[in-house]
Chain A
Amino acid sequence: MPRIGAFICHCGLNITATVDVERVAARARAIPGVVHAETYKYFCSQPGQEKIAEAIRSSRLDGVVVAACSPSMHEATFREAAALAGLNPYLVQIANLREQCSWVHSHRETATVKAAALVAAMVAKVRRDQPLEPIRLSVYPRALVIGGGVAGMQAAWDIAEAGHSVLVVEREPNLGGRMAQLSETFPTLDCASCILTPRTAEVARHPRIELLTWSEVREVSGYVGNFSVKIARRPAFVDWDRCIGCMLCQEKCPAPAPIAFEHGMGMGKAIGVSFPQAVPNRPVIRREYCRRFQGRKCQVCAKVCPVGAVDFEQAESFREEKVGAIVVATGFDVMPAAQFGEYGYGEYPDVIDSLAFERLNSSSGPTGGVIRRPSDGKIPREVVFIQCAGSRDPDRGKPYCSKICCMYTAKHAFLYRQKVPDGQAYVFYMDIRAGGKGYEEFVQRTVDQAGAMYLRGRVARVYPEDGRLLVEGVDTLSGTTVEVAADLVVLATAVLPREGARDLARTLKIAVDEHGFYSEAHPKLRPVETMTRGIFLAGAAQAPRDVAETVAQASAAAAKALGLLTRGELAADPLVAQVDEARCSGCLVCRHVCPYQAIEPRDVAARKVASVNPGLCQGCGACAAICRSGAMGLHGFSGKQVLAEVEAICL
């Protein structure tokens, strides 16, 4: 006879407000096999967990159902609590009375009846649970970091410094990412490259860090501790091993190329690096701009190269790498011009976005750090900054706040005034969000010292008049319409996930949210982990964030990765498929549906049966669903368990 305990959590008022927990407990007690049922205000609390432990011991429970919040919140908590009390942790099931009952229903009677049914289903399920032991897996002591921006570099550096080897894969030819494009950083106004360049050099030099730039992750297979990664390296058309980085090729190249790094503000060359301090200091040929690839006679670069490193025949190459953990740090994009017709973005050259303004500000940028407007190179006397261009705009843009714009706009207004002392900055804003150490003070300095004029309101339109741009808006504080004649308009465009982030998510089999940012495993408790074990998140690929937060999160992701790598061996969830060999006919239809190649035939008593590699199996259950005889089972989600749940719900 089973001895099940049911623990119905009030969750403060979260559950009790809608569900009569005492009635749910009474209904649970009436289920054959339930020998203990109690309610408590917070079973997840220490005293709550102790109550469960006490009941396990005193009532000799062999199964526990906790009716509380979603299993994604506290399943692990309650399993650990049960284990401490001597019950196998896999004999614990969670009935989701909060997210899927009390929070979504308001009628007390129906919610209570439903809650009782959900508990009954979990009692039926836990009765068919088996005690399980975690599966031990070896961990390959090397990490992969995808993205060589500040997040990726920080994560790589932390992991390498802790003694493990790291492979960094960067899509661009050089490290640096977005931060390399910036001029100064808020609120301290440190020069961005002054911060970044030493870090880049350290990473490049580190004996335990291997760099693969101009490369992309194409395929990922395996599982935590044992990932297999296929990396494609695009042809650089330059043999980097031979190249000495003299950049004579770039100097002599006759073909201009609008390189992404300058964000439309300046031109590079068809061969070369993105910026002077680039690491690795090795050029690539962008074939779409190269004269030779356009079918013309040129080959100047090949002629001037002192070491004969130019190789027009170079092809895409692939390599397979084995890693134990993956940090995804692919960064962000900004919303493209096409989205902002009313601001004339893309139509008038002097309407630019903030990243372009960074390039104008940058001393290594196209204007040498002098702020000149794109149309005629004139130094703008009046600059209008428009915030929330696409952010906080659920109808036409994105509903979320891009978070960094308030601060960098203040920085831009401040820097502008420094460089153009008689200039006037106007900032159209919705709210100023300056939470952060020294942030609010910085915004105040921009207003007080730099004289920036902050206007609360939306800009209706921007149109050209007499060589200037007329900006029409509303100052909602004074209730008046405002019209500013500007020389330059700068849009704080919304932060988006990097192009290709969704594809990479599919390759990695991790989730993205509705905007395409990678989803964390838990918004509060597991913010740098993904739902796929062994894959971690760093930086703006997960959500908009500034440099300081990015670096902090990168270190956190590194710490999580290190947690795996330093162990050498780890325990995996034993909720995997298993074969009842006596029942298996050996048809092996299961092999066709296994996404992990975890099933192999095995000879048993002169016949063939399916055999599951529990290290490879991820517990998806495709095999169990297609097995007709019922020989293929899935721990935790066996056919009999699911059927028992169905029956309990349908009572």
Chain B
Amino acid sequence: MTDRQAALRDIAAGLLGGGQFATFIGFRAGLDPSRPVPHFVRDASGAGALVINPFCGAGLARHVLEALEDGPVGILTRGCDGLGLERLIADGRVARERLHIVAVACRGAVDPARARAILGRIPERAEVDAQAVTLIAGEERRSVPRDSCLLSRCLNCVDPSPRLADSWLDEPLPAGVRDFKAVSHMEQQPPEARYAFWARQFRRCIRCYACRNVCPACSCRSCSLDDPELQERATSLADQFGFQFTRAYHVAGRCVACGECQRACPMSIPLSLLNEKFLKDIRDSFGIADPHRPSAVEPLACYRPDDPESWRGDAR
């Protein structure tokens, strides 16, 4: 852990000191030790503030968009960040050659709220491995199952390491295969239960657009959701369904499953469950094994002459 952090600081300092890079994006300690915050280092002397620990939860990919305005960017990159960067590159928003990707293998990030609830106080440190999470505060060490306190996106993660890298802080971890268990579970619910579930979730939406603003696939210069003729500002349930549908559909086939939308949602709406539904159907219908990993042409911008019409007959 400390080795990686030291290496990261060295690389960042080197990049910024070399004069070619204007910004290095990573994390630094926050007000609360369980909530490090995204940090933008501008010169080599600031690299010492960078930290890596299991509380580093926020996605960093989206931040390169603005940072690139100042010049080339170095960025600490986990698997999810890497997919986000791939998305931005595929969308023509980011030039690969203007990035220096410092890859790190990630075993999962701790959800600070769940960790605090378990410990009864703010944890100061945490250790994450393939089996368990150890939360530490003062003299207290508590080992708990991963699924009790990791961010939900980390529990479903199949890309612990980025596919793009310019330097590595450690050995890459192998990629896995997404199982879409939560989507399958939802699909098995009766339609009325599904509707009741989503209506309840969408009702809560406050339209803060955090889900969109944090999303590496939502990098449009201007968003149709901001155009009142395309998306009314009203928040009736009908409008909430319209908004949620449009957000999810606009990332269909483009979502990298980084889970940032769900992490960012202040109302805890399970947005990943929407995105993953599209991903699962793309995998099943179009034979694309890993639809969350960006490809040259996105699945809805191409076709095969023999695409299945398996949905035909569903209605009758």
Contact = CB atoms under 8 A, between A and B. Distances in A.
Are A and B subunits of one complex?
yes
A626 B300 contact: yes
A563 B300 CA distance: 41
B92 A587 contact: yes
A643 B250 contact: no
A222 B301 CA distance: 22
Nearest to A609: B221
Contacts of B93: 585-587
Contacts of B297: 592
Contact of B220 (A585, A588, A608, A639): A585
A628 B224 contact: yes
Interface in B285-306: 297-298, 300-302
B131 interface: no
A630 B250 contact: no
Contacts of B223: 629
Interface string A573-609: 0000000001111111100110000000000000010
A630 B301 contact: no
A32 to B, nearest CB: 16
Contacts of B220: 583, 585, 587, 628-629, 631
Given A585-B93, A587-B92, A588-B92, A629 B300 contact: no
Contact of B224 (A582, A588, A630): A630
Contacts of B222: 582-583, 585, 629-631
Nearest to A586: B92
B26 to A, nearest CB: 26
A586 B88 CA distance: 11
B301 A629 contact: no
A7 B194 CA distance: 47
Majority secondary structure, B binding face: loop
A640 interface: yes
What band does the interface of chain B fall in when counting residues whose beta carbon is under 8 Å from A? 10 to 19
A585 B300 contact: no
Interface string A196-231: 000000000000000000000000000000000000
Interface in A155-192: none
A584 B221 CA distance: 7
A643 B302 CA distance: 25
Contacts of B230: 630, 639-640, 643
B219 A593 contact: no
Contact of A585 (B219, B250, B301): B219
B192 interface: no
B301 A592 contact: yes
Given A592-B301, A628-B250, A587 B227 contact: no
B291 to A, nearest CB: 15
Contact of A593 (B91, B221, B227, B301): B301
A592 B229 contact: no
Interface string B226-255: 010110000000000000000000100000
Nearest to A640: B229
Contacts of A626: 300-301
B203 to A, nearest CB: 22
Nearest to B90: A587
B91 A587 contact: yes
B301 A608 contact: no
A628 to B, nearest CB: 4
Interface string B148-172: 0000000000000000000000000
Nearest to A583: B222
A630 B224 CA distance: 6
Given A608-B92, A628-B224, A631-B222, A589 B229 contact: no
A631 B220 CA distance: 10
Interface string A611-640: 000000000000000101111000000011
Interface of B: 91-93, 219-224, 227, 229-230, 250, 297-298, 300-302
28 contacts: A582-B221, A582-B222, A583-B222, A584-B221, A585-B91, A585-B93, A585-B220, A585-B221, A585-B222, A587-B91, A587-B92, A587-B220, A588-B92, A589-B298, A592-B297, A592-B302, A626-B300, A626-B301, A628-B220, A629-B223, A629-B224, A630-B222, A631-B220, A631-B222, A639-B230, A640-B229, A640-B230, A643-B230
List of 4 A-B pairs having minimum Cβ-Cβ separation, nearest first: A629-B220, A592-B301, A583-B222, A630-B224
Given A585-B219, A592-B298, A628-B250, 20 more contacts: A582-B222, A583-B220, A583-B222, A584-B221, A585-B93, A586-B93, A587-B91, A587-B92, A587-B93, A587-B220, A588-B92, A589-B91, A589-B301, A592-B297, A592-B302, A626-B301, A629-B224, A630-B224, A631-B221, A640-B229
